[in-house]
Amino acid sequence: MNRLGAKIAALIRATGPISVADYMTICLFDSEHGYYTTREPFGAKGDFVTAPEISQMFGELVAVWLVQAWRELGSPLPVTIAEIGPGRGTLMKDIVRTLRRLAPDLAARANFAMIEASPRLAEIQRQTLADVGADFAWHADIEALAPQPLLTVGNEIFDALPFRQFVKTEAGWLERAIGLGNDDTLRFGVGTANLSAGALPSAAEPTEVGAIFEIAPAREALMAAVANRIARHGGAAIFFDYGHIEQGIGDTFQAVRKHRSEDVFANPGEADLTSHVDFSALANVARNHGLGVETSTQGSFLIRMGLIERAGRLGQALDETARDKISADVERLAGPDQMGELFKGLTILPQATGNEC
């Protein structure tokens, strides 16, 4: 067991089993050994590759959507353009570069902000954005943003926030807990907390004993904070993540290290821990704030925003090898067997305007 595993085992010995949400929070953000606090997760040498790290086209098409949304809002100024959970800062770099071409007035006058929980990643973002020609403010929380219209983007931020699991037992839905086995290794058990009646899975779902149901109050709280701002001050938001548009039963907890999934207890703090995002729950939060919400697959969103045309234009001046790379990137971002179907895009605008996601 590694050092963080030993620290978690000591915590469980002292205070009893912990929830999946607590395990995830410790593994990702422990100040000494946490995954996001200490590691470089992104890219071929890291543990996983995200859409903006695959190709500049992703950020360019997100920027196209942002400009459309801003114009639909009546081109408000002042306006904040914020990214939540920006990783290396690559997405924002591509967005700013594209805004300068498509909407120079917006690029010149927007207030840019990065919302990042990891001081180490915030430092990497500072380096990435040092020469993009825009000033950035860094905050740990969106509550710190000025009270003005907000254009927000986020890629793979919701899956990084903790979630809870409940197990169907003879005694009802009880929270899944993490305790210690006889050999002192981490293992799943069942705690005592009940799933509150309001959060129960819909009646149509099969719920045999042993079934797992996931909820994510921390994800819904982030969405509520974004939705609350947009409802009060105007703005729009776009988020991408992997997950499902319909609520579902099932265990989606996973650890990813060096591009492979592994046991969630194998290397605490050394692997990324995630679960599928329940887009129906997030969409409901935004709708409950009176906002218009659209969800679609990442593939159909990118193709609607002009992925194929953009790839064609980028390829024009390049040799065959570089063109093949662009085609492969299109396939990775939008292909149904790659990120195109599993990943979803969710857009939020003030009212249901029929805006396309």
Q: Applying CB under 6 A, which residues contact ligand SAH?
A: 36, 42, 50, 52-53, 84-87, 91, 115-118, 121, 155-157, 160-161
- Residue 9 CB contacts under 8 Å (≥ 6 apart), including other chains: 1, 180, 184, 185, 186
The distance of closest approach from Cβ of residue 277 to ligand SAH in the complex, given in angstroms and rounded to an integer, is 12
CB atoms within 10 A of CB 119: 12
Which residue's CB is nearer to ligand SAH, number 175 or number 272? 272
Which residue's CB is nearer to ligand SAH, number 84 or number 110? 84
- Shortest CA distance to 222 belongs to which of 128, 311, 159? 159
Which residue's CB is nearer to ligand SAH, number 174 or number 275? 275
* Chain centre to alpha carbon of residue 235: 19
The distance of closest approach from Cβ of residue 63 to ligand SAH in the complex, given in angstroms and rounded to an integer, is 15
DSSP state of 203: T
Amino acid sitting at position 311: A
The distance of closest approach from Cβ of residue 231 to ligand SAH in the complex, given in angstroms and rounded to an integer, is 21
Which residue's CB is nearer to ligand SAH, number 85 or number 299? 85
The distance of closest approach from Cβ of residue 114 to ligand SAH in the complex, given in angstroms and rounded to an integer, is 9
Rounded CA separation 179/164 (Å): 15
CB atoms within 10 A of CB 218: 17
Which residue's CB is nearer to ligand SAH, number 84 or number 106? 84
Which residue's CB is nearer to ligand SAH, number 118 or number 275? 118
Residue with tokens 């790839």: 311
The distance of closest approach from Cβ of residue 275 to ligand SAH in the complex, given in angstroms and rounded to an integer, is 14
The distance of closest approach from Cβ of residue 159 to ligand SAH in the complex, given in angstroms and rounded to an integer, is 8
H/E run at residue 240? strand 235-244
What residue spans of 142-260 are helical by DSSP H? 217-233
Residue 192 burial by Cβ neighbours in a 10 Å radius (0-12, 13-18, 19+): exposed
